[in-house]
A and B are shown apart, each in its own frame.
Chain A
Amino acid sequence: MPQASELGPDEVVFRLFREHFIPDGQKYPNGEAFIPSSIDQDDAKKRGIPVRVTVWDQALTTPSQAKFIWGFNQPVMVFKIRVRDVIQLRARIQRLSMAVVRDPLIATDKAGAEGHCGFEGLDRNKDEPRTKYKTLLDEVAQLCHESARL
Chain B
Amino acid sequence: MLLIPTPFTASLPSSPNLVTMLLEECSSRRLSVSLALEIAETEFAWEKYLKSFAASGDPAAGRMLETVRVIWRQIKERIATCPVPITQPTAEGAIQLAWDSGGLYLDVDVLPQGGVHWYFRDRVTNEVLGTDEEPLETLPSTFFDKLIKLTQSY
Measured CB to CB, the closest approach of chain A to B131, in angstroms, equals 6
Interface size class of B (residues with CB under 8 A): 20 to 34
Q: Which one of B42, B86, B87, B126 has the greatest number of beta carbons of chain A within 10 Å?
A: B86
For the A-B complex with A26-B99, A30-B105 known, give 14 more contacts whose Cβ atoms are closer than 8 Å.
A20-B87, A20-B89, A22-B86, A23-B83, A23-B85, A26-B83, A26-B85, A28-B86, A30-B100, A32-B98, A35-B90, A131-B132, A134-B119, A135-B121
Known: A27-B101, A30-B105, A32-B96. A131 touches B129 (CB 8 A): yes
In the assembled complex, A5 has its CB within 8 A of some CB on chain B: no
Known: A26-B83, A131-B132. A32 touches B88 (CB 8 A): yes
A1 to chain B, nearest CB (A): 26
Bound-complex Cα distance A112 to B84 (A): 38
| Residue positions of B touching A, CB distance < 8 A | 42, 45-46, 49, 83-91, 96, 98-102, 105, 107, 117, 119, 121, 123, 126, 128-133, 154
In the complex, number of A-B residue pairs with CB atoms less than 8 Å apart: 75
A70 close to B (CB within 8 Å): no
Nearest chain-B residue to A30 (Cβ)? B98
Q: With the chains together, A135 CA to B130 CA distance in Å? A: 11
Give the size range of A's interface with the partner: 20 to 34
Is B130's CB under 8 angstroms from A30's CB?
no
Which B-chain residue is minimally distant from A40 (CB atoms)? Answer: B91
Contact residues of A between 100 and 138, Cβ < 8 Å to B: 129-132, 134-135, 138
Contacts of A138 in B (CB 8 A): 105, 121, 123
The reply to whether the CB of A142 lies closer than 8 angstroms to some CB of chain B is yes
Cβ–Cβ < 8 Å partners of A134 in chain B:
119, 121, 128, 130
Question: Across the interface, do A131 and B119 meet the contact criterion of CB distance under 8 Å?
Answer: yes
Given contacts A20-B89, A130-B119, A131-B119, contact A27 B100 (CB under 8 A): yes
